[in-house]
Structure 1
Amino acid sequence: MTNYQKIIPIANQILKKHDLCEHCLGRLFSKQLNLSSNKLLGKKLKKNSKPNQRCYICKNLFDNLNYFLNMMLDSASSYSYSSFSVGVIIKPSIIDRDDIIRSKYKLKGIDGIKTDIVKELVKLFSKKTKKTFDYLDPEIVFTVNLKDEDCTLRSKSLTLSGRYVKSIRGFSQKQKSCSNCSGKGCRVCDFHGILEFDSVEGEISQFLFKKLGGTTAKFTWIGGEDKSSLVLGSGRPFFVKIQNPYKRNLQISYANLKHVQVSNFKIVRESPKTPLKFNSLVEAKISTSSSIDSKLLQKIKTLAKNTVVVYEKSGKRSEKKIFSIKYKKHDETSFTLFFKFEGGLPVKRFVTGDDVSPGITQTLGVPCKCLEFDFHDIEVK
């Protein structure tokens, strides 16, 4: 007796007590027979039975899948993608009836009805769009709610890297979060997490939202600067993750925005998991509380190729190396410092000696203050 002949009595027994559609009936036995189409098997098993009225398990849900397919197509119409995945929400009573049949007739190792609905939607959507189903790493994910007749779509985040040059003073690096949602994204801020676009973060975010769509933008900065600082040379590197983008391809690598210029824009796999090591070349304008002469200023050179210890309020201690240092005297109480150092050294505190040792103030023995400082180069190691 073949496997098919063995299942006929069980199928007939089920059909005597319960009306089942071809999909639900076929699913109960297709794995046992190594068949891929539940519907074809169900049709074969039902050929001698009365026409189906209303499926006991799914209530003829499979007849309405085109309605949900159109919802998926509408949801995805604005998105660029090559792969997709589908999740479904169905009434618990459907799962309960499916479990009753499987338990009553001791049917083991078969797909649940949710799995079958997903397979059918995947098949229909794939055929219509020619896109690839990817369970592990899809570019868009549908959640089809068959219970409430709703479909939501989530797009895989996109990470980009770039460098920005800031040649105007008085422009902040970071943007204040939306006070209503603390940066999570809400209706007040159009789900961006920020209300204004008046910072480096804001301008770059706004540009990317226009080009790629998306909700929030999360930045990973390679160092930071004051509002009054310039960022020159090849610029400061950064990474930005765009949540729920519509497009997945940025055609340009350079953007001249209102206050910043961004170059080397490119899509990358992900932001760095650990902080990147980098060196900065800075020009700092310094004033002193009393007169200094050229001989005293020469003491600054002793800091070159030395290590500076930085103490944080949290109790954390770190060491930063000064690679090179030179100065230019302007008058009795001011000079400019040019120095290259390991990223993460707080420039103003290094000058005043506030929990940084040795600092400029300690080295000269005269209280010093950093009026402003600019970045000429940021070099990632």
Structure 2
Amino acid sequence: MGNEVMEAIQRYELCEPCSLRQGFREARASDPRRCFICRGLTTRVDEIRSDILRGLKGYEFRTFSVGLSLPEGMQEREDQLRAEYKLKGRETIKAWLSRNLSERVARATRRRVDKLNPELAILVDLGASEVRLNARPVFIYGRYTKPAGIAQRKTFCASCRGSGCAVCGYSGYDETKASVESTIQKRLGPLLGSKKMKFTWIGTEDPESAVGPSGRPFVVEAKNPRKRRVPRGFVSRTGMGQMRVSGLKLLPSRPLKLPSFKFMTRVAIDSTSRISAEDLRSLSRLMRNVVVEFRRPGEKPAYKRVYRVKAKAAGRGGILAEIKLDGGLPVKRLVNGDSVSPSISEVLKADLKCRKFDILKVEVGRFQYG
């Protein structure tokens, strides 16, 4: 054994694990709590493992990682010793603790360690003796139907406008008003053990829009969920003839972007002039499988396709049209011609206004994942 190693052993009291990690064959600290580096922390690995296992109860996961925050000064003391005696390439105290805890948790749970993309990140603050768990989000695809009058999104509280107050229970939202978002969150959230959800809607609608039997698609991100499986056969209804959520399925990961889609809509149109049956037949012919230009202010024009328009007269000055079109083309603008050409107003040479539109069917393309 070299003189420098002997000097280090004599000068610094080290417990057995800390001594072996430096490449020393013997330990000088009779009491691990007097170890210069860890102050006895290496003897508490099983105790810390037990704390972790208690916290894991109720969580579903197949893979996990263990991250550590060391007590103040611990890593610095090891760095000081190694710099003084030029000890390089050895496992650090943090790496040793992480490895040993990971191995013990893996054996106890029969789950696999994944440092890159774990389903559950276990964060241990050794200085504060705290264990925090952060579950990877789950992404769920589904569809909903609803009658006219039910909003898609939650409504801000009228008293605080979203900042949170006593009236709304500090949620920022009016919980007395039904919405698609609030219904899904209230019923799916507890089943997944998730208190926060983020919604992405495919397509667009108005609060006055009804959504037909095939449903409008959405993706919900459930943050920090305890459960990672969609309840089998989950269907949520707010009442007979009211909103319905169904067709839920788990997506493999966060989609890179929303898929392309086509949709069928039924549009109620008001006209300031009389439109003849022959005009409506011409509209169906001229707007079949036609590419229209949609210009957003300050952006390059977008080109979307209208696949078909089937229209009929509906009362004095009214038109009822069923239109199949690409997603991303605003229905109201297609009707009135605002930034869209050719539009229905343009083809009929009339001043038209979309009174309301309902969603009949949405056809969704494939999701893309990274």
Q: Residues 274 and 130 from structure 1, CA distance in 2 versus in 1: closer, same or farther, beyond 3 angstroms?
A: closer
User: Where does residue 40 of structure 1 map in the other structure?
Assistant: none
Q: Secondary structure at the match of 1:331?
A: coil
Paired residues of 2:33 and 2:41 also in contact (CA < 8 A): no
What letter corresponds to residue 170 of structure 1 in structure 2? G
**1:353 shift after superposition:** 1.4
C-alpha distance in 2, partners of 1:73/1:355? 59
* Aligned mate of 1:143, from 114, 118, 123: 123
User: Where does residue 174 of structure 1 map in the other structure?
Assistant: 153
Q: Residues 123 and 60 from structure 1, CA distance in 2 versus in 1: closer, same or farther, beyond 3 angstroms?
A: same
1:1-381 superposed matches below 5 A: 11-29=5-23, 45-46=25-26, 54-166=34-146, 168-176=147-155, 196=175, 198-258=178-238, 259-301=242-284, 302-381=286-365
**1:246 shift after superposition:** 0.6
TM-score w.r.t. structure 1 length? Answer: 0.85
Paired residues of 1:192 and 1:217 also in contact (CA < 8 A): no
TM-score w.r.t. structure 2 length? Answer: 0.87
Of the structure 1 ranges 54-63 and 330-339, higher mean CA displacement relative to structure 2 is found in 330-339
**1:199 shift after superposition:** 1.7
Paired residues of 1:173 and 1:224 also in contact (CA < 8 A): no
C-alpha distance in 1, partners of 2:169/2:46? 32
C-alpha distance in 2, partners of 1:354/1:182? 31
Of the structure 1 ranges 98-107 and 60-69, higher mean CA displacement relative to structure 2 is found in 60-69
Deviations 1:15-69 (A, max 9, x none): 211110111011112xxxxxxxxxxxxxx93379866561011111112333432
C-alpha distance in 2, partners of 1:91/1:284? 65
**1:184 shift after superposition:** 12
**1:87 shift after superposition:** 0.8
Q: Residues 235 and 249 from structure 1, CA distance in 2 versus in 1: closer, same or farther, beyond 3 angstroms?
A: same
Paired residues of 1:287 and 1:333 also in contact (CA < 8 A): yes
Q: Secondary structure at the match of 2:216?
A: strand
C-alpha distance in 1, partners of 2:44/2:296? 63
C-alpha distance in 2, partners of 1:270/1:179? 36
C-alpha distance in 2, partners of 1:123/1:140? 15
C-alpha distance in 1, partners of 2:250/2:139? 6
Paired residues of 1:232 and 1:377 also in contact (CA < 8 A): yes
Q: Residues 76 and 190 from structure 1, CA distance in 2 versus in 1: closer, same or farther, beyond 3 angstroms?
A: farther
What letter corresponds to residue 115 of structure 2 in structure 1? Y
Q: Secondary structure at the match of 1:119?
A: helix
Paired residues of 1:193 and 1:216 also in contact (CA < 8 A): no
Q: Residues 181 and 25 from structure 1, CA distance in 2 versus in 1: closer, same or farther, beyond 3 angstroms?
A: farther
User: Where does residue 32 of structure 1 map in the other structure?
Assistant: none
Of the structure 1 ranges 137-146 and 190-199, higher mean CA displacement relative to structure 2 is found in 190-199
Of the structure 1 ranges 54-63 and 129-138, higher mean CA displacement relative to structure 2 is found in 129-138
Residue-pair matches, total: 360
Q: Residues 189 and 97 from structure 1, CA distance in 2 versus in 1: closer, same or farther, beyond 3 angstroms?
A: farther
What letter corresponds to residue 153 of structure 2 in structure 1? K
**1:144 shift after superposition:** 0.7
C-alpha distance in 2, partners of 1:183/1:135? 38
C-alpha distance in 1, partners of 2:37/2:159? 46
What letter corresponds to residue 27 of structure 1 in structure 2? R
**1:108 shift after superposition:** 0.8
Q: Secondary structure at the match of 1:163?
A: strand
C-alpha distance in 1, partners of 2:364/2:134? 34
**1:131 shift after superposition:** 2.5
Of the structure 1 ranges 50-59 and 145-154, higher mean CA displacement relative to structure 2 is found in 50-59
C-alpha distance in 1, partners of 2:160/2:41? 39
User: Where does residue 368 of structure 2 map in the other structure?
Assistant: none
C-alpha distance in 2, partners of 1:230/1:114? 57
C-alpha distance in 1, partners of 2:158/2:100? 44
**1:113 shift after superposition:** 1.0
Cα RMSD (Å): 3.1
What letter corresponds to residue 344 of structure 1 in structure 2? G
What letter corresponds to residue 88 of structure 1 in structure 2? L
